Structure 1
Amino acid sequence: MKEVNLIAKLADLQEVDYHNTLVLHAVIEVLVAKGLLTKDEIAHKMSELDTQLTFHVDTYAKLTDAVNSRQMQIKPLL
């Protein structure tokens, strides 16, 4: 039964993801059609955000690895 619930939740997430992607595409198309943004500006901003987020994720991963490594080096006193 747990597997059925998990599959149902995944299906719901896929539907939400599709809906959000559709809304995002619609908003971008309207903004471009109104001349408020260009597709190049959107692509540039996407690249900037991707670089920033990748840096943050990599930094977090390195910090987590360092903390875990440090914890393994600490020996209990007992």
Structure 2
Amino acid sequence: MKDVKVIAKLADLQEVGYQNALLLHALVELLEARGLLTKDELIGSMHELDAELHHRIQQIAGPAPYEPPVTPLQPRS
């Protein structure tokens, strides 16, 4: 029974992740359509924030044995 609960919680987390991704995508599209930002600006900001957070984490915990790849948003062609 414990395994079923864990699987159900994972499914709930997956749904929350999907809804958050949908919300962020819609928000970026609206901001871009209104001329408030471009996807290139957003991607640049993401990279800066990622580098800053990665640096802070390394200062606290030391280097990680494995770093998963980051898949940034890709601007439309």
TM-score range for the pair, normalised by the shorter chain length: 0.7 to 0.9
Match of 1:59 in 2: 59
Match of 2:35 in 1: 35
Structure 2, unaligned runs of 5 or more: 63-77
Counterparts of 1:56 and 1:21, CA distance in 2: 25
Match of 1:46 in 2: 46
Which digits, 9 at most, give the CA deviation of each residue in 1:41-74, with x for residues without a partner? 1011000000011111111212xxxxxxxxxxxx
Which digits, 9 at most, give the CA deviation of each residue in 1:4-25, with x for residues without a partner? 0000000000000000010000
Match of 2:22 in 1: 22
Identify the structure with the greater helix proportion: 1
Counterparts of 1:10 and 1:60, CA distance in 2: 29
Cα RMSD of the aligned pairs, angstroms, is: 0.7
Structure with max Cα Rg? 1
Q: TM-score, normalised by structure 1?
A: 0.76
Higher relative contact order (CA 8 A, sep 6+): 2
Percent identity between matched residues is 56
Structure 1, unaligned runs of 5 or more: 63-78
Q: TM-score, normalised by structure 2?
A: 0.77
* Counterpart amino acid of residue 57 in structure 2: V
